[in-house]
Structure formats: C-alpha cells, structure tokens
Amino acid sequence: MSVTPVEGPRFSRHKLPEQFCNVERLLEGMKRRNLDGIVVSMPNNVYYLSGFSGIAHKSDEPRPYAVVISRHAPDQPVLLLADYYVSSLMSQPTWIADIRSFRAVMLPLDLPPAENDIDRFISPASGKNGWAQSVRQNFSDSMSAACQGALADLGLSRGRVAFDDMRFGFQLGLDGVEVVDGYDPMMYARAVKTEHEVTMLKRSTALNQAAIEQSIANWQRGMTWREFNHVYHCAAVGLGGFVRDPGAMIWGHPQGVDSTVMLQTGLEDFEVSQGLHVMFDCHGTLDLYCWDGGKTWIVDGQPVGNARRYAVATSEAAAVVMEAMRPGVRVSELQALGRSVYRKAGVVAADSVLIFFHGLGLSHMDLEQVTADGTPNVDWRLEAGMVVPLHILYPGAETERIWVEEVVQVTNDGGVPFFSWGFDPMTNT
C-alpha cells in the first residue's frame, strides 16, 4: 500500500536559544520593588526564564516546575523540574546550570524510595556531567522541599521574595520571608522584548498572515461561519501553529444593520456571503509566542458606499498612529491622534471608533498592571522594544464595519509593522 507523504509545516518548531529572556530588565524591576528574589512557577514565566516548556499540564493543575532567582546572585538561578521532565533538557538546553529535581506522580508509593530513582528519567545519552549530574546530586522528596532548598542556598530564607503564584509561596511556610505578588515584576520584564523574542513574534505573525490568506483563498459560496472558522484553524495548524478552544477568530459578526461590538462564542453560524465585512482578529501561538491581528476582508467584493470613506479614514488613521508609536507616548495620546484623523476626514460618529492597545508576547498583555510605586498602569507609556498591537475598529453594519489590527514594534523612529500587507481591506475581486 502506497502512502502519500505529508508535507511538513512551513513554520516548523526548532531549538530555541538557550536564553531569550530580558534578565537585565527583570533585575531592574526587582530593584524597583525592593525584591530580594523571585520564584516563578506559572508555565509562561518558567518558559520565559528558562526555555523549558512542559507538555501535558493543563491550566489549573499544580505546577511541577519553577525558577528561583536572587537579585543578589543573578548569575546563579535554579531551575526545578519534576523527575519526568528532566529529559526535556536534552532537546531544549537552558542557560540555567543549576538544575534540581524532585519526586512526582510517576514514582511508586507502594515501594520504598531508592537513591537511584531519578535515573529512571535520565537517558544515558545525557552524559555523566552537566545538568544530569546536577539533577542526581539535588533530588528532593517534593517540589516544596526542592524550592525551600534552593531558596536557602541562594540566601533567600529571609527577605522579600515575589511569587507569581502566591498560593505556592504561602504553602512553603517560610517564616522569615515576606511573600509578595510576582505578577507585575515579571510583566515589567516581559514588556520589552529581546531580539530573540522579536524574531519569534515576527514568525508567529507571518504564520497568521499566511493562514488568513489561505483561508480567503479557500472560501466558497455558501460556506458558513463555522465552516470558515474551521478552514482558518486547519490552515494555522497545518502551517505549524496552535489555536485553542473555542476558536482562533475573535470578533463576533452581528448580522444586518446591527453594529454591536461583540466577540464570538463559537456557537454562532451564518452564511459568509458576498459583500460581508469579515474582521480577522486571530489568536494562536508558535513556540508559545502569540500571534494576533489581521484586518477587514470584504467577501468577494469591494467596499461600497460609505464603507469606502470609512476604509480610507481607517487606513490613514492607522498609518498616522503607527508613525507616532514612539517611546514616551501615552495610549490616550495615540487614541486622540487616531480619532482626529476621522474627524478631519469628515467621518460621522468618530467618537464611536475604538482605538486600543496592549502588549504582546507570551500573552496578549505582557504589561504590568500596577507600577512599582503602586499606581494603576492604565494610561501606560510606550517603551522602545515593546511589541504592541494597534487596533482600530469603525463599528457599523455588516457591509460597513472596518477593522485593522497591526502588530507593531516600538522604536525611536516610529512603529515598525510585522504584517506585510498594509492597512487597506482585503478583497478577492
């Protein structure tokens, strides 16, 4: 029986740099908050600091891994991994040299512990030195014991230590430690991207653009919204990306003259008919780094009537705002600038236009919510090196609404777009 070979994904997974995180900015954020150390056990933060990405665990399960960093000894971080995860380091090395492990769910409870239990999980190919030797010398009975040992060795048995999961911090029962929230110092670090992160975000954006273009090319008359979503999902996954339940396409599409701004639930269904304005705002990940965005596709047609003016104004507003996306500018200033373009163009209901921003990286936020001085970070300032999606929505009926979302790198010379297709609506006529 002959087997047709399956073409590999265009955006295949590959080994990442041993270090791609912004350690210097993390240390700066820790200093601003007077933190002696930080312990991260949430998956995105562990991946960010170590490169380790564990398979199998779901969002609400206890985390069998952590990274411990002391501000006073930043070159001596510790990576804690459940015993069954240590072999992952053979495929994706990490810059962290001190690797420690602990007994987890796989080892038997009906047999007495043995000194060589960890060897079940260490391949002979890993060698006798390096991380394998470190793991053998630092094998604990539990994650709590492993973390307590790491904290003690780093001089963090006393002081002010942040945990991105405060529940875990309190569970450790560290009498001499002030447990504080580690969310914002991590988001402060993640807000400004390293060159490696920018490369990963450009790859994920390119995948999204290719998936959108494939989806449009595969549209057929009579296709329903759910069928079209499935076409996008198949394209994204086939290219090498991942999407999550209930779907990757975010905007809802009210029918007729309904101009309500809404997100889809995955339960809607209608015909993707000629003339409909489809707003591509697609989410997914490649190497865990998020893609986002898209723009308006006018199904089998061109913008007609007032939609032509709305489309031109939206493109002009996006160009003006992107050029102004420089370090120091506030979000409210960018919103006012974009809205002024609509007013100058004489577009009605300029105040109804939604212009908004967020960070992008391992999440669709990557921004501290509260600054080091306790101020809510609502009207935040852009910084050089941030990757910030620019969203503009002119709401309207199904044949008038116009949307664009560009992924933008903030530089001293203005924003740099990651999509290659500009701001005008897409048509296939």
Residue at 87: amino acid letter: S
The gap between the terminal CA atoms of the chain, to the nearest Å, is 43
Query: Does this chain's domain 23-191 share its CATH topology with 195-427?
Result: no
Domain spanning 195-427 has what CATH number?
3.90.230.10
Measured between alpha carbons, how far is 179 from 320 in angstroms, rounded to an integer?
45
| Cis omega (within 30 of 0) for bond into 5 | no
Instruction: Quote the tokens at residue 9.
Output: 């994904």
**Amino acid letter for position 227:** E
**Region for residue 133 given its phi and psi (left: phi exceeds 0; alpha: psi -120 to 50; beta: otherwise):** alpha
Residue 352: exposed, middle, or buried by beta-carbon count in 10 A (0-12, 13-18, 19+)? Answer: middle
pLDDT score, position 132: 87
CATH fold of 23-191: Creatine Amidinohydrolase; Chain A, domain 1 (3.40.350)
Question: pLDDT per residue over 269-299, tens digit each?
Answer: 999 999 999 999 999 999 999 999 999 999 9
| Cα atoms in the 13 Å half-sphere on the side-chain side of 384 | 3
110 or 59: which leads in pLDDT: 110
What per-residue confidence (pLDDT) applies to 4?
52
pLDDT category at 407 given cuts 50, 70, 90 is very high
Buried b vs exposed e over 163-200: b needs ≥16 C-beta within 10 Å?
bbbeebbeebebeebebbbbbbbbbbbbbbbbeebbbb
Q: What is the pLDDT of residues 320-372, one digit of tens each?
A: 999 999 999 999 999 999 999 999 999 989 999 999 999 999 999 999 999 99
Of 95, 52, 98, 82, the closest CA to residue 145 belongs to 82
Per-residue model confidence (pLDDT) at position 298? 98
| Distance (Å, whole) CA 41 – CA 39 | 7
pLDDT at 128: 61
Counting Cα atoms < 13 Å in the Cβ hemisphere of 32 gives: 18
pLDDT reported for residue 3: 47
Average pLDDT value for the chain:
95
Q: Which two tokens stand for residue 328?
A: 């120091």
The tokens of 47 are what?
């991946």
- For residue 307 the two structure tokens come to 């939609």
Tokens of 420: 């290659």
Q: Where are the domains of the chain?
A: 23-191, 195-427
CA 178 to chain centre: 30
The position carrying tokens 């409870």 is 109
Whether the pLDDT of residue 131 is over 80: the answer is: yes
5-30 pLDDT per residue, tens: 556 789 998 899 999 999 999 999 99
